[in-house]
Structure 1
Amino acid sequence: MQGKGLINFFVILISIACLYSLSFTFVTRKVESDAVAYAKGDPAKERAYLDSMATVDVYNLGFAKFSYQYCKERELALGLDLKGGMNVTMEISLKELISNLADNTKDENFNKALDNAEARGKDSQKDFVSLFGEEFKKLNPNGKLATFFANKDNAVNNINSNSSDADILNFLQKESGSAIDRSFNILRTRIDKFGVTSPNIQRQQGTNRILIELPGVSDEQRVRKLLQGSAKLEFWETYDNTEIFPLLENINRTLASTLKKNDAKSDTATSDSTSKDSTQAGRLASLGGTANKAKTDSLKGDSSSLALQQAKNQNPLFAVLSPNVGQGAQGQQVLGQGPVVGYVLQKDTALINSYFSSAEIKSIIPGNVKLLWSVKPVSKETKMFQLFAVKPTGLDAGPVLTGNVISDARADVDQRTNNPQVEMVMNSEGAREWRKISAAAAAANPKKAIAIVLDNTVYSAPTVQDEIANGISSITGNFTFEDTQDLANVLKAGRLPAPAKIVEEAIVGPTLGQAAIDAGINSSVIGLVVVLVFMIFYYNRAGLVANIAVVFNVFFIMGILASLGAVLTLPGIAGIVLTMGTAVDANVLIYERIREELAMGKGIRQAISDGYKHALPSILDSQITTFLVGIILYLFGTGPILGFATTLMIGIITSLFTAIFITRIIFEWMIKKDMKITVSYPWSDHTMKNANFGFFTNRKKFYGLSVALMLISVISIFTKGFSLGVDFSGGRTYTVKYEKAVNLEDVRENLNGAFGITSEVKTFGTENQLRITTPFLIDQTDDAADKQVLDKLNEGLSKIQGNSYQIVSSQKVGPTIANDIKISAIYSVIFSIIVIALYILIRFRKWQYSIAAAISIAHDAIILLGIFSLFDGILPFSLDMDQHFIAAILTVLAYSINDTVVVFDRIREYLGIHRAKDETISHVVNTAINRTLSRTIITSLTIIFVMAVLFIFGGEVIRGFSFAILIGIILGTYSSIFLAAPIFADLQGDEPEKAKELDVNTSKLKPAKA
């Protein structure tokens, strides 16, 4: 094998890289295990322990050390279905955005156009702005949009009374995108402050929606309030640090005194250390030493050390808060200037907040002092946040300006220093006020800063250098270009509020999450064992070589997922289990070709070499078609389906690498060591070796059977229809677990009475666990509607006497997003069939191959749909039509074409070399099917084994998904043998193929017997 040294190098390199990526997961699991042991069942203690470890080095490689926070950001994260938590889709209200840009006009036609556009958006794939433009033109054909949008605020964007409707719509498109970007940044900041471990937030490109995943969250109401609250942008006057430091000292003394009273055993020597030295320098030196010692011990994780405890007793505040100090002219410590009054580690911000909110401290903080945190830490390494002091002013004791005075803000570059900055433009009213405020701040000694605050968090506090007369000012500081973009977005958010509402949510309780983890692990382990045993059982020593490749394959998949920062979901685990089955396919193709070469009398070395060479085209064609489907799933899928698609694509690449290269390296090594290589046992050596079935002769019988099954399926689809999952129909779904088994009809009757509308109730796994879906208040997605639905649900559930229950998980999907998911699903299936047919056409250069493949996979899809329609409500598990089913049907199409391509490759090979006699196409096709029959059945059986394991042990959540793939594999095997190849022969025309003599190394074909 050429390039063996290079391949060995890549195997070692990839193995090291995967091991390195997975090592972070091992480290975080160890820390979290220690936290559980320390907490002894107390969640608050567990969180506190992990917070204290955030900046502590927990992973030492010798040449580098990594903190727990660094490792946590690089671990293989678990999805909501494995960990529990909350999945939310936010929709930015472009209707209100456009209304605000038009100064909230009362024009009847304008507002009617907005309402109509919102109604059409539920069933249309067009964007909201385009729909609004169409509706306005319908209602007011002679009207001009410029009439509503030509105002002072929009003039900065060159919008005036002469602007055309096209100009206005382009402006609205731009502002819509900008508003979504700003909302994204605001939501991301809120989530970061929420303290969720490994949150995921991403824009859904081409829509006005934002997807948010919050693993481990249990307080749903707090999340809803956090995400749906309107952003509040404000400008505050600030204090100088020197003005606030005496207050901090007073807080410190009060806390120390309170601790003394509460702890009778406290050391009497712990008098107030701030009074030992009356000079400012002495006090600062003492406090600085105490704070630094406390922080050093805290960073080491030594929370129980005597020094740390003494520091906390003597100076509770300054043990965790470092005052803003600097070096004076004489080298002594002096108070720093500016609005920053202290620095606190992220893990200690909650403690500081508890201090400030206590009754004793609230009573001594003046009403004209407000303490706020910075939005970001000073540096990622230390996770140190700044504490600012701002000054409430005016009659309402609030900010000096609010965000609605901003007309524009953009990231810019200082022409003198070439440093990033933000240029801010205010409207006429804001410019007048800003002139007064900036003049007063610039005249102060020292000059004052103005804090820019969003949602009570300080984004920036620039010092005002001079009076600003024209309302245009530049904000400079220690910014990166990304910082200035974020700050510009924040400033603009105050002017264009675009409310965000939750249109879809899924809440998974930790109990269900743990059950899903157990089910996923069990199915993966059992599936792996089944594959490994079967390969050794059938292929002898070559099976052992294939098993080594499968183990490497799983290792590479996990390592690559970790390195990409991917989230592992239950469908993702299903993808791994499926990949273990398909990974064997390449080995089966190779081994079957090796067996054919050995049957011709070749030596083992030559047989292996020729086996790999002849199997390669089939391997590549079959895996590329599956990979194409993975790409389509990734492009059209959302949520867990993305995890499945990612795993599937990675698995295809790694299985190709391991099957083609790693097994070859092992075989080369065995030959070099003169080890015996066997690819079968005596009993399996002749399995289907001389198969000579009349597939083509009997094709019309199978055509009739297929047409009958398709007809039954179509009738069921159009008469009975499908049970649509909540992500296709919209509504709310709840998983409810009773203490004891319940009567399904009783629960259904009670819920229908409570809701006043028919709801769907199904058992979910066990007789005491139910899946309830209701369309009640489907068009309302606000908190009030959620509460009303939940109240009605509890009303119905509680009527089952003497049987307690708990709501384990819930999911909500608005009708608009449900329609979008449906449309995407339909497009993905149609697009997959087209792409596969085009690939076959390009690869095989004959349209007959392409049409035969398209008919074959359409046959599989229709019958699978028919089974889900026909048996829904009959089989004892869910057969809902949802995103998981779409992923399953696309996987089935991929497998079906995978199988078909192998047969097509053999047909193409035989048509190219078997031309010594006047052989008909039907004869060649029938022989090709028989020669590949062993491979087809072995691969199908392998995948059926692992999917059966997934179906039995994978858990109720994906039982319908695994059932669809299991049935689809059987259908795909049937269609590739009995339909695709015979259809190709019929389309080609049954004429003799005449050409050159047979290759001497190729066996002659014999006429097939019926």
Structure 2
Amino acid sequence: MLYFSRWKAILIWLAVAVTFILAAPNLIPADTLAKLPSWVPKKQMTLGLDLQGGSHILLQIDQNDLIKDRLEASRDEIRTLLRDAKIGYTGLSGSGRVVQVRVRDASQVDAAKEALKGLIAPVTSGLFGGGTITEWNQDEPEPGLLRFTMTDAGIKYRSSTALSQSIEVVDRRVNELGTTEPIVQRQGDDRIVVQVPGLQDPQRLKEILGQTAKLTFQMVDQTMPVQEAINGRPPAGSSVLYSKDDPPVPYLIENRVIVSGENLVDAQATFNSQNNEPVVSFRFDSKGATRFGQATQQNVGKLFAIILDNQVISAPQIREPILGGTGQISGNFTAQSANDLAVLLRAGALPATLTVVEERTVGPGLGQDSIQAGKIAGIIGSILVVGFMFVAYGFLGFLANVALVVHVAMIVGLLSLLGATLTMPGIAGIVLTIGMAVDSNVLIYERIREERRQGRSVIQAIDTGFSKALATIVDSNVTSFIATVVLFWLGSGPVKGFAVTFAIGILTTVFTAFTFTRLLVSIWLRRAKPKELPRAPVTFVPPGTNIPFMGVRRWTFALSTFLSIMSVVLFMTVDINYGVDFKGGSTIEVQSKSGPADIADIRGKLSELNIGDVQVQQFGSPTDVLIRVAAQEEGDNAEQSVIDKVRAELQDKYDFRRVEVVGPTVSSELATQGTIGMLVALVGILIYVWFRFEWQFAVGAIVATVHDIVMTIGFFCVTGIEFNQSSIAAILTIIGYSLNDTIVVYDRVREDLRKYKRTPMPQILNTAINETLSRTTLTAVTTILALLALVLFGGEVIRSFTLAMLFGVVFGTYSSIFIAAPLLILFKLRQAPDASEEKPVNGKPVAT
């Protein structure tokens, strides 16, 4: 185990060197990197929105809007086809998902079916025409009445097509804003994720993304006064539309579209040469220019309307034919609103309305604060862990600390290489892996000390220590990895960032602890040729410790049962403080522009807005305020209206540092995903432990883990800490940590069962726990030190996450000793021996 060939050693050192080269750009300012030669690695970690500021918006296609448009289009198509075929009809109507028409002459029914057969013809779908679907089903409920019903497959096909078109349009719109590295991605069957880093004005982004931008040029119907049409009934083929003015001005508009936005090839914000007002200049393609020229030629002196999303922008008079295919749109624009309209027109219209169902916005100031807090927490946590390792292991602790530096560099280097996004929870993941990375070294070092106490030479002890610790290291890290994979699979945004960082940390831990540390130890052995292991300044658990843990198992069972019942009762009777992730609503963090925030004034202003239940509280410093607004019953659009109202009321005196809006649709999905995530993680771990051990071990590990989950939920109930997506991440990480601890104890139990074949089970368990007590103590202390740094210095954003983690580590350590181990007795893993079996000597069993 301690022998390394020259090539193997060179490869390890090469991997370490590459790691530092990949990580180094993150320590160099971007402007300095730009000046370096092209062959120098320059890739830095991508900062998440919570660190550099920006907006995360989840858009959903309005399927009802899509169905309505398709219904209208199909109705018009039926009208055209029957007229072209000279077939008389009546009662052409559409509602819901059904269009129907009655053929007047029974002898023409077959001809009508033939004329309309294109509607029910299969439509090609899938890649390269890999499949077909039928969009409409036709039936004849009574003679002469033809009914067409839109199929589920047809709706899905139209939604998928509209989603693909919407992604292209949204991508063009976002890129037109001039933002750097925006992300526009499909999510599921009907959603689009938009992430724009460093965005200063998220409100403008939402306005641009939320507009369908269906532009049409239509004639104004001047056959009757518009007020008469409003009071009575508009003429056939015309409708009353309103302008965007305040108050809105009504217009009677002909339904016939002269030219639509599809015929635009360019649109630019410019200024009117006569009055210097902002306008939008546009240019049609050849088809649009011809149609527009013909319409203006035939209607000189009349009014025509420019309509955007069923609102009249302007209705100028045609003074002369416009034959060049160009024109201007005026309408009391500001420079920015003219530019935004030009952006919308250039990008094209959306095929359906997009609704904002989730929004998470972080201001750049809060992002910088989070980076600073993360750096401070990381430095302090690292110093505490490094100092503790040196105190616990002396020179071997120094070698572990060198490996720890390589471990962190590998995480940063791999994150940079993969282009992964570093979030604030991701920083927490790095700090947490610093605490947990030493666990593998602790396992190895404690095993080495134990082998040395049993009389092996230094080299033999070290070699055997590495060999015997390997299986435990693999088992304990695999269980944590399972929970992390589930977290990545079901998480989103910052939570997924934590999962990526933590998963990379687990993998690099195995390499640095087992491979790199082993290389360092072998070099030290070759050069120093020590006669004894280095002494540690402090011994935390004296050799030969023999605490009768199983003697109090009935008391610990009773205590845990009582606390578990109390946690369940609290969960069912006391409302847990769910965040917007799970109950919907809005969370807004604002900061006073001058002096301490006036909470009473904020509360008074918001109470007048008629936006439901509002909570206002101080958050961190006296200038920071956290506002929570309950979910709105009117749905996702109402949630966005709340933000607009609050922003309008407070933006003069307060900066908006963070905005989170989760609609009812997304919140219910997140709650379901969180529940499924915990169940999937538990089942995966159960299967793995059952595969590696016996069924008693697997069930015992799961029971102990469920105990820790219940305790953590009780902790949330008692403390009132907000329970959000990060809390699910904390619970899944606690599952991994608790199983890690339990597996270490179980691995030693399994080893002792083979060694002491006739020893009573309680004595086996006492021995195994005492043998691993030093490792359990040291690992818990290092992890707690790292988490304490996060709690005290990591900032308010992740405080609920780290507090839950801190609590979970303490109870995870407790359950490994007092719940998981005694359960093996309850499950009768080994039957009680008879009186002739061996007795313990000095509190320890005798091997047979």
Q: Please say whether Structure 1 and Structure 2 have the same fold, judged by a TM-score greater than 0.5.
A: yes
Instruction: After TM superposition, list the pairs within 5 Å mapping 1:249-648 onto structure 2.
Output: 357=270, 370=283, 392-395=289-292, 456-457=345-346, 497-648=351-502
Conserved 8 A contact 1:848-1:984: yes
Kindly state the Cα deviation for residue 209 of structure 1 after the two structures are TM-superposed.
1.7
Q: In the alignment, which residue of structure 1 is the partner of 2:69?
A: 100
Give the aligned residue type for 2:134: I
Indicate how the Cα distance of structure 1 residues 762 and 688 shifts in structure 2: closer, same or farther if over 3 A, else same: farther
Conserved 8 A contact 1:541-1:678: no
Q: In the alignment, which residue of structure 2 is the partner of 1:774?
A: 629
Q: Structure 1, residues 8-64: CA drift from partner, whole Å, max 9, x if none?
A: 3443443454345445555662359xxxxxxxxxxxxxxxxxxxxxxxx74415xx4
Give me the whole-angstrom Cα distance separating, in 1, the residues matched to 2:578 and 2:503. Answer: 28
Instruction: Identify the match of residue 676 of structure 2 among 821, 827, 842.
Output: 827
Which stretch has the larger CA shift, 772-781 or 580-589?
Answer: 772-781
Give me the whole-angstrom Cα distance separating, in 2, the residues matched to 1:654 and 1:791. Answer: 48
Q: Structure 1, residues 284-323: CA drift from partner, whole Å, max 9, x if none?
A: xxxxxxxxxxxxxxxxxxxxxxxxxxxxxxxxxxxxxxxx
Q: In the alignment, which residue of structure 1 is the partner of 2:176?
A: 193
SS at match of 2:551: coil
Indicate how the Cα distance of structure 1 residues 367 and 643 shifts in structure 2: closer, same or farther if over 3 A, else same: closer
Give the aligned residue type for 1:565: G
Conserved 8 A contact 1:370-1:389: no
**1:202 aligned onto 2:185:** yes
Give the aligned residue type for 1:884: S
SS at match of 2:151: helix
**1:891 aligned onto 2:719:** no
Give me the whole-angstrom Cα distance separating, in 2, the residues matched to 1:228 and 1:746. Answer: 32
Give me the whole-angstrom Cα distance separating, in 1, the residues matched to 2:295 and 2:8. Answer: 68
Q: In the alignment, which residue of structure 1 is the partner of 2:746?
A: 904
Conserved 8 A contact 1:575-1:647: yes
Instruction: Identify the match of residue 797 of structure 2 among 942, 957, 961.
Output: 957
Conserved 8 A contact 2:589-2:658: yes
Aligned length: 702
Indicate how the Cα distance of structure 1 residues 160 and 201 shifts in structure 2: closer, same or farther if over 3 A, else same: closer
Instruction: After TM superposition, list the pairs within 5 Å mapping 1:914-929 onto structure 2.
Output: 914-915=756-757, 918-929=758-769
Q: In the alignment, which residue of structure 2 is the partner of 1:168?
A: 151
Indicate how the Cα distance of structure 1 residues 682 and 776 shifts in structure 2: closer, same or farther if over 3 A, else same: closer
Give me the whole-angstrom Cα distance separating, in 2, the residues matched to 1:1003 and 1:5. Answer: 47
Give me the whole-angstrom Cα distance separating, in 2, the residues matched to 1:598 and 1:108. Answer: 93
Instruction: Identify the match of residue 776 of structure 2 among 936, 948, 953.
Output: 936
Q: Structure 1, residues 798-833: CA drift from partner, whole Å, max 9, x if none?
A: 9xxxx9433322121111011111110111112111
Indicate how the Cα distance of structure 1 residues 804 and 220 shifts in structure 2: closer, same or farther if over 3 A, else same: closer
Conserved 8 A contact 1:368-1:391: no
Give me the whole-angstrom Cα distance separating, in 2, the residues matched to 1:108 and 1:625. Answer: 63
Indicate how the Cα distance of structure 1 residues 706 and 957 shifts in structure 2: closer, same or farther if over 3 A, else same: same
**1:87 aligned onto 2:56:** yes
Give me the whole-angstrom Cα distance separating, in 2, the residues matched to 1:233 and 1:155. Answer: 31
Q: In the alignment, which residue of structure 1 is the partner of 2:696?
A: 848
Kindly state the Cα deviation for residue 919 of structure 1 after the two structures are TM-superposed.
1.1
Conserved 8 A contact 2:479-2:736: yes
Kindly state the Cα deviation for residue 676 of structure 1 after the two structures are TM-superposed.
4.1
Kindly state the Cα deviation for residue 947 of structure 1 after the two structures are TM-superposed.
0.1
Q: Structure 1, residues 486-545: CA drift from partner, whole Å, max 9, x if none?
A: xxxx9xx87xx1222211112211111111110011111111111111111110000011
Give me the whole-angstrom Cα distance separating, in 1, the residues matched to 2:422 and 2:512. Answer: 22
Give me the whole-angstrom Cα distance separating, in 2, the residues matched to 1:534 and 1:933. Answer: 17
**1:864 aligned onto 2:839:** no
Kindly state the Cα deviation for residue 200 of structure 1 after the two structures are TM-superposed.
2.5
Indicate how the Cα distance of structure 1 residues 697 and 23 shifts in structure 2: closer, same or farther if over 3 A, else same: closer
Give the aligned residue type for 1:546: A
Kindly state the Cα deviation for residue 988 of structure 1 after the two structures are TM-superposed.
2.0
Conserved 8 A contact 1:530-1:946: yes
Conserved 8 A contact 1:861-1:889: yes
Q: In the alignment, which residue of structure 2 is the partner of 1:330?
A: none
Q: In the alignment, which residue of structure 1 is the partner of 2:205?
A: 223
Q: Structure 1, residues 193-239: CA drift from partner, whole Å, max 9, x if none?
A: 322223233322x34222221111012232113322326699xxxxx
Q: In the alignment, which residue of structure 2 is the partner of 1:1006?
A: 844
Conserved 8 A contact 1:760-1:773: yes
Question: Gaps spanning 5+ residues in structure 2: where?
Answer: 76-90, 99-112, 125-132, 140-147, 217-264, 297-324, 326-341
Conserved 8 A contact 1:632-1:828: yes
Aligned residues: percent identity? 32
SS at match of 1:60: coil
**1:765 aligned onto 2:620:** yes
Task: State the superposition RMSD in angstroms.
Answer: 4.0
Indicate how the Cα distance of structure 1 residues 154 and 78 shifts in structure 2: closer, same or farther if over 3 A, else same: farther
Conserved 8 A contact 1:539-1:681: yes
Give me the whole-angstrom Cα distance separating, in 1, the residues matched to 2:802 and 2:532. Answer: 34
Indicate how the Cα distance of structure 1 residues 456 and 899 shifts in structure 2: closer, same or farther if over 3 A, else same: same
SS at match of 1:760: strand
**1:214 aligned onto 2:196:** yes
Give me the whole-angstrom Cα distance separating, in 2, the residues matched to 1:537 and 1:742. Answer: 46
SS at match of 1:697: helix
Give me the whole-angstrom Cα distance separating, in 2, the residues matched to 1:160 and 1:741. Answer: 61
Give me the whole-angstrom Cα distance separating, in 2, the residues matched to 1:852 and 1:971. Answer: 16
After TM superposition, the score normalised by the length of structure 2 is 0.75
Conserved 8 A contact 2:425-2:494: yes
Kindly state the Cα deviation for residue 76 of structure 1 after the two structures are TM-superposed.
1.2
SS at match of 1:553: helix
Instruction: Identify the match of residue 178 of structure 1 among 152, 158, 161.
Output: 161
Give me the whole-angstrom Cα distance separating, in 1, the residues matched to 2:446 and 2:295. Answer: 79
Kindly state the Cα deviation for residue 571 of structure 1 after the two structures are TM-superposed.
0.2
Conserved 8 A contact 2:430-2:505: yes
Give me the whole-angstrom Cα distance separating, in 2, the residues matched to 1:637 and 1:688. Answer: 43
Give me the whole-angstrom Cα distance separating, in 1, the residues matched to 2:561 and 2:211. Answer: 57
Give me the whole-angstrom Cα distance separating, in 2, the residues matched to 1:652 and 1:550. Answer: 12
Give the aligned residue type for 1:602: R
Which stretch has the larger CA shift, 711-720 or 773-782?
Answer: 773-782
After TM superposition, the score normalised by the length of structure 1 is 0.64
Kindly state the Cα deviation for residue 843 of structure 1 after the two structures are TM-superposed.
1.0
Give me the whole-angstrom Cα distance separating, in 2, the residues matched to 1:788 and 1:944. Answer: 40
Q: Structure 1, residues 939-994: CA drift from partner, whole Å, max 9, x if none?
A: 00000001000000000001111000000000000000111011112212552479
Question: Gaps spanning 5+ residues in structure 1: where?
Answer: 33-56, 115-145, 235-340, 342-348, 372-387, 400-436, 438-452, 459-489, 873-878
Conserved 8 A contact 1:717-1:869: yes
Give the aligned residue type for 1:919: T
Q: In the alignment, which residue of structure 2 is the partner of 1:945?
A: 785
Give me the whole-angstrom Cα distance separating, in 1, the residues matched to 2:683 and 2:484. Answer: 14
Conserved 8 A contact 1:896-1:972: yes
Kindly state the Cα deviation for residue 619 of structure 1 after the two structures are TM-superposed.
0.6
Which stretch has the larger CA shift, 737-746 or 544-553?
Answer: 737-746
Indicate how the Cα distance of structure 1 residues 398 and 940 shifts in structure 2: closer, same or farther if over 3 A, else same: farther
Give me the whole-angstrom Cα distance separating, in 1, the residues matched to 2:135 and 2:678. Answer: 46
Instruction: After TM superposition, list the pairs within 5 Å mapping 1:800-815 onto structure 2.
Output: 804-815=653-664
Give the aligned residue type for 1:1006: K
Conserved 8 A contact 1:742-1:767: yes
Instruction: Identify the match of residue 714 of structure 1 among 548, 568, 589.
Output: 568
**1:78 aligned onto 2:47:** yes
Give me the whole-angstrom Cα distance separating, in 2, the residues matched to 1:16 and 1:525. Answer: 22
Give me the whole-angstrom Cα distance separating, in 1, the residues matched to 2:149 and 2:698. Answer: 44
